[in-house]
Amino acid sequence: MEYRKYGEVCYARIDRGEEVISSILDVCRKEGFGSATFSGIGGCSSAEIQTFIPEEGAFETRQLTGMLELVSLVGNVISDEQGELHSHAHAAFAHKEGDAHCVSAGHVKSITISYTAEIEIRPIVGGLIMMKHDPETGTGFWDFH
């Protein structure tokens, strides 16, 4: 991964074989971003996406492999009370299943790059968004300070 900061915003190029979410969190740690938003596009070799099933209180996971076009990645980074960073992201991938052109989307667990991804990371300026734990879903939600 290589990135540059222009003004307050970081622009990252994530390279073949690298994982997207961990790379975004690395940039945020290096730059001291306690909370941020991000978006991006790219070409991927694998992705693990999830859908939350409220009745089960759990995520259903789907593994995608092959040539995946990351057509949309949006998400955020927030801090917990110990200062650890956490990501919440959703993505859509265009891919082929046989002769059919398909789109799969959901909550992102991981994305591995096949050739490149271009990610914009924008810090939250003038405040900090923290994580508030939700015991019903086992996930975290925004907590404004």
For residue 139, what pLDDT band results from cuts at 50, 70 and 90? confident
Summarize the confidence of residues 71-76 as an average pLDDT: 98
Task: Determine the Cα–Cα distance for residues 132 and 141; give it in Å rounded to an integer.
Answer: 5
Task: Output 87-92 pairs: Cβ under 8 A, ≥24 positions apart.
Answer: 87/21, 87/24, 87/25, 88/140, 89/21, 89/38, 91/47, 91/49
Quick one: residue 71, left, alpha or beta (phi over 0 = left, psi -120 to 50 = alpha)? alpha
Q: Give which of 75, 65, 66, 20 is closest to 42, Cα–Cα.
A: 20
For residue 69, what pLDDT band results from cuts at 50, 70 and 90? very high
- Are residues 141 and 130 in contact, defined by beta-carbon separation less than 8 angstroms? no
pTM summary value: 0.93
What pLDDT score does 136 carry? 73
Summarize the confidence of residues 69-88 as an average pLDDT: 95
For the chain, which residues make up each domain, given as ranges? 2-144
User: For residue 31, is pLDDT > 80?
Assistant: yes
CB atoms within 10 A of CB 129: 18
User: For residue 134, is pLDDT > 90?
Assistant: no
What pLDDT score does 55 carry? 84
pLDDT, the chain, mean: 94
End-to-end CA gap in the chain: 32
CB atoms within 10 A of CB 132: 14
Indicate the residue type of 36. A
Percent of the chain whose pLDDT exceeds 70: 98
Summarize the confidence of residues 73-93 as an average pLDDT: 95
Given the candidates 3.40.630.30, 3.30.1330.80, 1.20.990.10, 2.60.40.60, the CATH classification of the domain at 2-144 is 3.30.1330.80
